[in-house]
């Protein structure tokens, strides 16, 4: 063992002393001003069992304190974070990364072989410039299509949340909002993600998170080229305000000659037209679901032909993207076409019976009791008995013959005329 009494002097020379940890952006947190505590030879590395310098810090508000779990030598051998043991370049588990890069790095697990292997790797790390990983990982290809599709583009700070409060689960937590742990329902204990081992993650075996990501990679969609060979345009979506035409040109020029680049700022998309179909197919294959420019993951699709672009709208419930749309309930059906107009037939706008006399329109209700009808000659009668036809309407005032002007207030038959006349004589 690394801290045995028989070889205490030799092992103490190999103990690790560092000034700053090797961390990913997620574990470091979003706060640029953090305070760390440094404990020299505070813990044993959980992989090689050698004492190393332990760093402890809080990545943000309402987050749990984190600390380094493995030494920097083990971190550099696998190019992983000292805390979460995820790859520093892609943010993925070691098993996923090694599968994507076709790397088979078998680290010894016995104490003697592990110590000998670690010493050789330390020598190789000291002789390298520090810009590339060492060992089998340094000999692997620089990138992989699967890793670019699965890689995270932004830090996942949700991983730094506090653990679940066990007292709250039992209904015994009395701290309330001051409790530093989460008051949430725990996950299903049968969930494979609930059983994770740090050694399995480091060695890349039996990692449930890696198995989940590998299954997701096997079911990822593909971008098939269209049948129309005249289409040489790619649609690029999700540009935002940071991606310019120069950024697009610097990425896509490697696939072939670019004819035009058109950016639609209102829709935050762009159309890139290549000179040849072969260049467009290569660009679509190399960029689909893995194009990241200025920290933004962009959408890559094939453009439409001019004939299809001219037929706007939706036909037979199928949108322009090829997806079938469900009908919206509650909408009225299509209106019937208007009937053919017959020039000889009279226009009947109110759907009246043509056999009925036009005077039917003047039928009114009988007057209520106690109300006299208006005087003759002043407007049409408003009330008359049922069953009688209404008299024709009088001509308008402008069409009447000249004569005495009739004032309704001077009509002796109006309501209250006799009462007013009697009161006037009484005075």
Q: Per residue in 301-345, pLDDT tens? A: 888 876 555 554 445 555 544 556 666 666 666 667 666 655 555
Q: List the 296-302 sheet strands across, edge first.
A: 258-264, 269-274, 233-237, 296-302, 291-293
Q: Which residues of the chain have pLDDT under 70?
A: 1-13, 130, 136, 138, 141-142, 306-335, 337-427
What pLDDT is recorded for position 38?
A: 93
- Domain 231-308 superfamily per CATH: RRM (RNA recognition motif) domain (3.30.70.330)
What pLDDT is recorded for position 6?
A: 45
What pLDDT is recorded for position 313?
A: 47
Within 8 A by CB and 6+ apart from 395, the residues are none
Residues of the chain with CATH 3.30.70.330: 231-308
* pTM to 2 decimal places: 0.55
Give CA–CA dist 320/312, Å, rounded: 8
**pLDDT tens per residue, range 79-113:** 899 999 999 888 899 988 888 888 887 777 777 78
What pLDDT is recorded for position 349?
A: 60
């Amino acid at each position: 063992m690394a801290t045995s009494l028989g070889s205490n002097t030799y092992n103490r020379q190999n103990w690790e002393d560092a000034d700053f940890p090797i961390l990913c952006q997620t574990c470091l947190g979003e706060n640029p001003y953090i305070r760390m505590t440094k404990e020299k030879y505070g813990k044993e590395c959980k992989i090689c069992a050698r004492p190393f310098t332990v760093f402890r810090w809080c990545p943000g508000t309402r987050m749990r304190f984190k600390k380094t779990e493995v030494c920097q030598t083990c971190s550099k051998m696998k190019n992983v974070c000292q805390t979460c043991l995820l790859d520093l370049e892609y943010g993925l588990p070691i098993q996923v990364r090694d599968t994507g890069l076709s790397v088979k790095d078998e680290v010894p697990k016995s104490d003697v072989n592990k110590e000998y292997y670690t010493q050789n790797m330390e020598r190789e790390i000291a002789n390298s410039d520090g810009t590339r990983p060492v060992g089998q990982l340094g000999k692997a290809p620089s990138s992989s299509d699967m890793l670019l599709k699965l890689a995270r583009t932004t830090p996942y700070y949700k991983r730094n949340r506090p653990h679940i409060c066990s007292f709250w689960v039992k209904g015994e937590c009395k701290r309330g909002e001051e409790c530093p742990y989460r008051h949430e329902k725990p996950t299903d204990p049968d969930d494979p993600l609930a059983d994770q081992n740090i050694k399995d993650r480091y060695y890349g075996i039996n990692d449930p998170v890696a198995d989940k990501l590998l299954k997701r990679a096997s079911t990822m969609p593909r971008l098939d080229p269209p049948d129309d060979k005249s289409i040489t345009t790619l649609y690029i979506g999700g540009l935002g305000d940071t991606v310019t035409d120069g950024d697009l040109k610097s990425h896509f020029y490697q696939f072939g000659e670019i004819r035009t680049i058109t950016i639609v700022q209102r829709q935050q998309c762009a159309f890139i037209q290549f000179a040849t179909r072969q260049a467009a197919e290569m660009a679509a294959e190399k960029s689909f679901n893995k194009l990241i420019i200025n920290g933004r993951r962009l959408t890559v699709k094939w453009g439409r032909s001019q004939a299809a672009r001219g037929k706007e709208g939706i036909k037979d419930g199928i949108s322009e993207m090829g997806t079938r749309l469900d009908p919206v309930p509650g909408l009225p059906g299509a209106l019937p076409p208007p009937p053919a107009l017959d020039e000889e037939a009279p226009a009947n706008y109110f759907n009246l019976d043509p056999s009925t006399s036009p005077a039917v329109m003047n039928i009114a209700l009988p007057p209520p009791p106690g109300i006299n009808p208006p005087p003759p000659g002043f407007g049409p009668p408003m009330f008359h008995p049922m069953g009688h036809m209404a008299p024709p309407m009088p001509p308008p005032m402008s069409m009447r013959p000249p004569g005495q002007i009739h004032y309704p207030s001077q009509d002796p038959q109006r309501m209250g005329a006799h009462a007013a006349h009697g009161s006037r004589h009484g005075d």
